[in-house]
Amino acid sequence: MRIDIISVAPDLLESPFNHSIVKRAKEKGLAEIVIHDLRSYGLGNYKQIDDTQFGGGAGMVMMIEPIATCIRKLQAERNYDEIIYMTPDAATLNQATANTLSLKENILILTGHYKGVDHRVRALFITKEISIGDYVLTGGELAAAVVVDAIVRLIPGVIGDEQSALTDSFQDNLLSPPVYTRPANFEGNKVPAVLLSGNFPKIEDWRSDKAYERTEQIRPDLLK
Ligand code: 6GU
């Protein structure tokens, strides 16, 4: 999979993609992530990328020309399955969206700043808009890093233990059951006996009961 990201703060994206699973995916050649600095497509000597909004009001709006130039240049090199705009005024990311995106070949992500982008960018170029939750971040970069991490770990071969990604919380719309490792007894706090029983059908039953219980307590909305 190839992921291109257009950003006005490319530095923010360096670190998240050079660690752990995303780094391993890049090293294995399963994911290629390329970051493009929108500023270099800016207008004039000052490389302008934003301007005040028509109709008045506080806050700068990202202009369409630098974004259009950048997107068109990238589109000349490959076809994108999705052109995603990261913005808080969109449907929130969930596991189903991450699963679907992990099957794509080429994804382009535009990260917003300031008051957002000129709405014509959304109308002309964007095929999907994603928020990561009901709160506002300074820019879309951290949100894009979240989306990329959620997608990349699902690409077959990225996670060694094939089972692992599929048994994550949310893959069945339930939270994960509790997990334990050695010691079996920490200062009198014992691991549930069933997990030490070796009775695997019983362990599976216990795990699904606990997953359901925790979901009911913490995220009842997931059960609806
Ligand atoms: Cl995608 N962008 C920004 N700026 N804030 C957010 C967000 C995105 N998702 C949640 N908050």
How confident is residue 102, by pLDDT bands cut at 50, 70 and 90? very high
| pLDDT in the model for residue 3 | 98
* Sheet architecture: strand order including 82-86: 32-37, 2-7, 106-111, 82-86, 128-130
pLDDT tens digits, one per residue of 26-67: 999 999 999 999 999 999 999 999 999 999 999 999 999 999
- In angstroms, what is the span from residue 112 Cα to ligand 1's centroid? 8
Lining residues, ligand 1, CB within 6 Å: 86-88, 112, 131-133, 135-137, 139-140, 143
pLDDT tens digits, one per residue of 160-170: 765 677 777 78
- In angstroms, what is the span from residue 107 Cα to ligand 1's centroid? 18
pLDDT tens digits, one per residue of 72-89: 999 999 999 999 999 999
- In angstroms, what is the span from residue 213 Cα to ligand 1's centroid? 31
How confident is residue 139, by pLDDT bands cut at 50, 70 and 90? very high
What percent of the chain has pLDDT above 90? 86
Task: Report the residue among 131, 135, 146 best suited for mutation to probe ligand 1: largest number of ligand atoms under 8 A from its CB.
Answer: 131
Q: Which ligand 1 atom sits nearest the alpha carbon of residue 132?
A: 9
| pLDDT in the model for residue 171 | 79
| pLDDT in the model for residue 163 | 62
| pLDDT in the model for residue 156 | 87
| Cβ neighbours for 135, distance < 8 A, ≥ 6 positions apart | 88
How confident is residue 217, by pLDDT bands cut at 50, 70 and 90? very high
2-152 CATH pick, 3.40.1280.10, 3.40.50.20, 2.60.40.10, 3.40.630.40: 3.40.1280.10
| pLDDT in the model for residue 48 | 98
Mean pLDDT (the chain) is 95
User: Region 168-191: what's the mean pLDDT?
Assistant: 93
Question: Architecture of domain 169-223 in CATH?
Answer: Orthogonal Bundle (1.10)
- In angstroms, what is the span from residue 45 Cα to ligand 1's centroid? 30
Q: Which ligand 1 atom sits nearest the alpha carbon of residue 137?
A: 5
The domain locations on the chain are: 2-152, 169-223
| pLDDT in the model for residue 49 | 97
| pLDDT in the model for residue 160 | 76
Residues 212/213/217/219 CA torsion (nearest 10 deg): -10
